A and B are shown apart, each in its own frame.
Chain A
Amino acid sequence: MDIFLQTLVAGILKGGLYGLIGIGMSLIMGVMGIINLAHGQLMMVAMYITFVLSHYVGIDPYLSLFITMPSLFLLGALIQKYTLNPLMEVDSILPENQVLMTVGIGMVLVETSRFIFTSDYKSVQTSYSDATFYLGEISFSVALVIAFFIAIGFTLFMFWFLLKTDIGRSIRATAQDKDAALLMGVDSKKITIITFGLGAALVGAAGTILMPIYYLFPDIGGPFTRKAFVITILGGLGSTVGAIFGGLTLGLAEAFGASYIGMAYDDMIGLIIFILVLLFLPGGFKRLTKI
């Protein structure tokens, strides 16, 4: 029973974090229709910023959210403005050129980090990195619990933002029907820049709150990019609530897979769920919840 409960807790806590990683990807895929294969790499950049702030300036990782998120927003916006948007105008054979561009950007980000920081592992140790509290026999890592609530907080904020603000409405309109939105007077270029910026800032936040419990090296982004698109497909494009559900599903599937099948399989379980959802529930959970 303990194993079951502990696995459940582990899955939910990890799932919250996954959700936050997924929202950004979900927004970008929903609005631009492109897979951002540099998503995990953007997270890696945020983690390095957090590391530098904590290691050299002494800023607490959670406080550095106020720096990493705007920086990542700026980075994302610049990437969209100067590398992805120009591609919409050039004439090329493959519509996927933008996706391929994100691959190139991802490489540049990884290698630039390697250039600056070498391949050494970095980590940020805080007083609460190891802190734990217990409910009965079940242990909770304080840092993971905080990360979970921050992730939920951001999700709720995004939900409100997309539903209630003008920019949010424009983003949703662009996601639903680009041409119609254009006709309604939405500046679609501006919207794409804001969306990519937001997506980058959100995954940046995820990277920052992961920093106290995890570690960092330049290649860390790849697996998270993969997780992010699994989550996005599970949850449905452009859906914040879907992303959280997708994140939780993936987190729980990995945790239960690790407990009851084998830890070596946890990545594969996520991928198989992904293919199944892609085939049998195209559109993801969004189709079931309609939000």
Chain B
Amino acid sequence: MKKFIPLIILIVLCLFPVVIQNAYYQHLMILVFIWVAIGSGWNVIAGFTGQVSFGDAAFFGTGAYTAGLLAHHFHISAWWGMAFGGFAAMAVAFPFGWICFRLRGPYFALASLALNEVCRHIATIAEPLTQGMVGILIMPTFLSKIPYYYIALALAVLSVVFVQFVMKSKWGYYFLSIREDQDAAESMGIDTHKYKMVSLNIAAFLTGMAGALFMNYMGFIDPEVVFSLHDISIMAILVGIIGGVGTIYGPAVGALVMVAVHEFFRTGFFGLFKGLAAMTGSDAMISVAKTISHAHVLGFGILVVLVILYLPNGIVGDWDKLVGKIIPFKKKEAAS
């Protein structure tokens, strides 16, 4: 039974756009898939290898700009970015990791944060190359969401499967041993610097691919969009944390929750309150609707604080605990 669950999910997701033809929900699912890839990438370096990165946007943006600049300067399809974006991100990750992996813990985190900001500034200032804040605009290839949906789904599945594959390999054990105790790993003869590099480059590759897809899908990027510390780097971390750090399916759950919660609040419970307000015509409801849509990021922030406090290993990591708390009478079943 257990074995088939991923397969069932996959089938459900494949059928999704056929059943739900509303482009808006397809759009949300595409965002979820992109975040699954970013979150999985972050999870490899931070969740499994223990090197918390605050600079995922550097890789995401590099991937996105690779796609965008190829289309802009050489007039070739931005889809080539999907092929090169991941490698371009690795080209950023490699020297960065080479230099900065001598730093540990919070120092590495800070260095990656600085990398994020440096990349953003370069993209803003290097106008002849990147168009600066004018950004890069391409016309999306498809009008329909469905091709994007399946490409994004493929990317998400690929990243989850790839991470699972890596974590089952020898590399995976090296990563975990670095996370648990770097000195012990070192003394066991593991070249920690090398495997941290491997881990970072896997993360960069996945994130860069996601960036290239983002460019193709959104059709517009500028430095503040793709090199955003707040909207990309920190969101990647939050996706990982909410879903479950160091779990294979954590980023997928985190991505779903993040996009859902964001839209949930942004649209005022999907227009529920707006609808109520329109139906009842009461001013109180209108102001409730307005208040809620204004508080969409606040709601998300509170969720993050609560998750870290009560589910430090995320929804997936602390699933049993969560189930036990919410549905106490099912506790027995969960234990069995």
Task: Give me the interface of A with B, judged by CB distance under 8 Å.
Answer: 29, 33-35, 83, 86-87, 90-97, 99-101, 103-105, 107-108, 110-112, 114-115, 222, 226, 229-230, 233, 264-265, 267-268, 271-272, 274-275, 278-279, 282
Instruction: List A contacts of B113 (CB < 8 A).
Output: 226, 229
B99 at the interface (CB under 8 A from A): yes
Complex alpha-carbon distance, A100 and B52, angstroms: 10
Complex alpha-carbon distance, A272 and B115, angstroms: 9
Complex alpha-carbon distance, A112 and B301, angstroms: 10
Instruction: Give the shortest distance, in Å, between B129 (CB) and chain A (any CB).
Output: 15
Q: Is A96 within 8 A of B117, CB to CB?
A: no
Q: Is B118 within 8 A of A222, CB to CB?
A: no
Instruction: List B contacts of A100 (CB < 8 A).
Output: 52, 237-238, 241, 304, 308
Q: Which of A29, A94, A272 has the most CB of B within 10 A?
A: A94
Instruction: List B contacts of A29 (CB < 8 A).
Output: 106
B313 at the interface (CB under 8 A from A): yes
B102 at the interface (CB under 8 A from A): yes
Q: Is B229 within 8 A of A222, CB to CB?
A: yes
B324 at the interface (CB under 8 A from A): no
Interface of B is mostly: helix
Instruction: List A contacts of B118 (CB < 8 A).
Output: 268, 271-272, 275
Complex alpha-carbon distance, A67 and B229, angstroms: 33
Q: Give me the 4 closest cross-chain CB pairs, A-B, nearest first.
A: A107-B301, A111-B298, A92-B312, A104-B304
Q: Is A101 within 8 A of B308, CB to CB?
A: yes
Q: List 24 A-B contacts (CB under 8 A).
A: A87-B309, A92-B312, A93-B47, A93-B50, A94-B245, A95-B105, A96-B109, A99-B109, A103-B234, A103-B238, A104-B301, A104-B308, A105-B305, A107-B300, A107-B304, A108-B298, A108-B305, A111-B297, A115-B294, A115-B295, A115-B298, A264-B125, A271-B121, A282-B103
Q: A33-B106, A265-B125, A271-B118 are in contact. Are A108 and B111 (CB under 8 A)?
A: no
Complex alpha-carbon distance, A149 and B162, angstroms: 57
Q: Is A83 within 8 A of B309, CB to CB?
A: yes
Q: Is B295 within 8 A of A93, CB to CB?
A: no
Q: Is A271 within 8 A of B114, CB to CB?
A: yes
Q: A35-B109, A93-B246 are in contact. Are A86 and B309 (CB under 8 A)?
A: yes
Complex alpha-carbon distance, A101 and B297, angstroms: 16
Instruction: List B contacts of A114 (CB < 8 A).
Output: 294, 297-298
Q: Which residue of B lies closest to A267 (CB)?
A: B121
Instruction: Give the shortest distance, in Å, between A31 (CB) and chain B (any CB).
Output: 13
Instruction: List A contacts of B294 (CB < 8 A).
Output: 114-115
B317 at the interface (CB under 8 A from A): yes
Interface string of B12-53 (1 = CB under 8 A from A): 000000000000000000000000000000000011001010
Complex alpha-carbon distance, A233 and B100, angstroms: 14
Complex alpha-carbon distance, A95 and B124, angstroms: 34
B110 at the interface (CB under 8 A from A): yes
Instruction: List B contacts of A105 (CB < 8 A).
Output: 301, 305
Q: Is B99 within 8 A of A274, CB to CB?
A: no
Complex alpha-carbon distance, A272 and B118, angstroms: 8
Instruction: Give the shortest distance, in Å, between B103 (CB) and chain A (any CB).
Output: 6
Complex alpha-carbon distance, A101 and B105, angstroms: 16
Q: Is B305 within 8 A of A83, CB to CB?
A: yes
B302 at the interface (CB under 8 A from A): yes
Instruction: List A contacts of B297 (CB < 8 A).
Output: 107, 110-111, 114
Task: Give me the interface of B with A, judged by CB distance under 8 Å.
Answer: 46-47, 50, 52, 99-100, 102-103, 105-107, 109-111, 113-115, 117-118, 121-122, 124-125, 179, 229-230, 234, 237-238, 241, 245-246, 294-295, 297-298, 300-302, 304-305, 308-309, 312-313, 317
Complex alpha-carbon distance, A87 and B50, angstroms: 17
Q: A87-B308, A95-B105, A100-B308 are in contact. Are A108 and B301 (CB under 8 A)?
A: yes
Partner of A94, one of B47, B102, B107: B47
Instruction: List B contacts of A107 (CB < 8 A).
Output: 297-298, 300-301, 304
Complex alpha-carbon distance, A107 and B230, angstroms: 10
Instruction: List A contacts of B99 (CB < 8 A).
Output: 279
Complex alpha-carbon distance, A94 and B294, angstroms: 32
Q: Is A275 within 8 A of B111, CB to CB?
A: yes
Instruction: List B contacts of A93 (CB < 8 A).
Output: 47, 50, 179, 245-246, 312-313, 317
Complex alpha-carbon distance, A157 and B113, angstroms: 32
Instruction: List A contacts of B313 (CB < 8 A).
Output: 92-93
Instruction: Give the shortest distance, in Å, between A228 (CB) and chain B (any CB).
Output: 11
Complex alpha-carbon distance, A171 and B117, angstroms: 33
Complex alpha-carbon distance, A94 and B302, angstroms: 20
Task: Contacts A94-B46, A94-B52 known; list 17 others, CB within 8 Å.
Answer: A87-B308, A93-B246, A96-B52, A99-B52, A100-B238, A103-B237, A104-B304, A104-B308, A108-B298, A110-B297, A114-B294, A114-B297, A222-B229, A226-B117, A264-B121, A275-B111, A279-B102
Q: Is A97 within 8 A of B308, CB to CB?
A: yes
Instruction: List A contacts of B50 (CB < 8 A).
Output: 93-95
Complex alpha-carbon distance, A93 and B178, angstroms: 12
Q: Is A222 within 8 A of B230, CB to CB?
A: yes
Instruction: List B contacts of A282 (CB < 8 A).
Output: 103, 107
Instruction: Give the shortest distance, in Å, between A192 (CB) and chain B (any CB).
Output: 16
Complex alpha-carbon distance, A147 and B325, angstroms: 51
Complex alpha-carbon distance, A287 and B247, angstroms: 40
Complex alpha-carbon distance, A278 and B304, angstroms: 30
Instruction: List A contacts of B317 (CB < 8 A).
Output: 93
Complex alpha-carbon distance, A34 and B294, angstroms: 31
Instruction: Give the shortest distance, in Å, between A139 (CB) and chain B (any CB).
Output: 29
Instruction: List B contacts of A94 (CB < 8 A).
Output: 46-47, 50, 52, 245-246
Complex alpha-carbon distance, A115 and B9, angstroms: 38
Instruction: List B contacts of A279 (CB < 8 A).
Output: 99-100, 102-103
Q: Is B298 within 8 A of A112, CB to CB?
A: yes
